[in-house]
Amino acid sequence: MADPPKHPVEQPVFRSLMLTSLLLGVVFVCAGQSVSDGSFLSGVMLLAALFFAIFVVSFGLYWLAWVLREHELWREGRQGQEE
């Protein structure tokens, strides 16, 4: 029998997306602070804000998936105790 699909919390791709977007956000903020040109600065800071937004959304989804998974495991454990 095939293994069931992994929960999103258990998949390394989701965590790597989160960490990569955070790292790229920090890199673009550092690059934006070292450049004094106004037009380039706004573009770099826009990219940094985009990557931080991706991080915040993916972190929120990861946290929600983790809470729901833990709640389901708790419910399964209680159901086994009540029977």
Angle between helix 38-82 and helix 12-34 axes, rounded to 10 deg? 160
**Residue 18 and residue 59 in contact, taking contact as beta carbons nearer than 8 Å:** yes
Question: For the chain, which residues score pLDDT lower than 50?
Answer: none
57: nearest Cα among 30, 17, 8: 17
pTM of the model: 0.75
Using DSSP's 3-state secondary structure scheme, residue 4 falls into coil
| Per-residue model confidence (pLDDT) at position 3 | 72
pLDDT at 2: 66
For the chain, domain boundaries: 13-78
